[in-house]
Amino acid sequence: MSVTATEVEIGSMISRTPGIKRGTPHIAGTGVTVRTIVRWYKLGMSVEEIAAEYPHLSLAQVYGALAYYHANRDDMDAHMAAEETESERIEQEHLRLQRSGT
């Protein structure tokens, strides 16, 4: 079986580079993180709907991001939960500072 010029290695679809997106997994060659795709997916959007939100992404890239998530689900979920906790902490601190007038 020969390899065609358009064949894509699945492993090359997701990048994780220190210094780029703080090392979070993202779709290679784009600024779209895996967690962004996962969040849309968890809100009930289909792969086609997600790809429509990001016209520069192919269906294969969206599926690749979801495959990466499912292969690394525990780590990804823990990281996203920690981000959510930090976001809530920052929001509460901002509200506290607004109420105190500082």
Residue 19: what pLDDT? 78
Residue 28: what pLDDT? 92
What is the biggest distance separating any 2 CA atoms in the chain, rounded to whole angstroms? 70
Q: Show the tokens assigned to 86.
A: 């930090």
Round to whole Å and give the CA distance between 32 and 35.
8
Q: Which fold has domain 1-71?
A: Arc Repressor Mutant, subunit A (1.10.10)
Q: Could you tell me which of 25, 11, 54 has the C-alpha nearest to residue 45? A: 54
Contact 3, 45 (CB under 8 A): no
Q: Could you tell me which of 77, 81, 60, 83 has the C-alpha nearest to residue 12? A: 60
For the chain, domain boundaries: 1-71, 73-102
End-to-end CA distance of the chain: 68
Residue 4: what pLDDT? 55
pTM for the model? 0.77
- State which residues of the chain have pLDDT below 70: 1-5, 102
Residue 46: what pLDDT? 97
Average pLDDT, the chain: 88
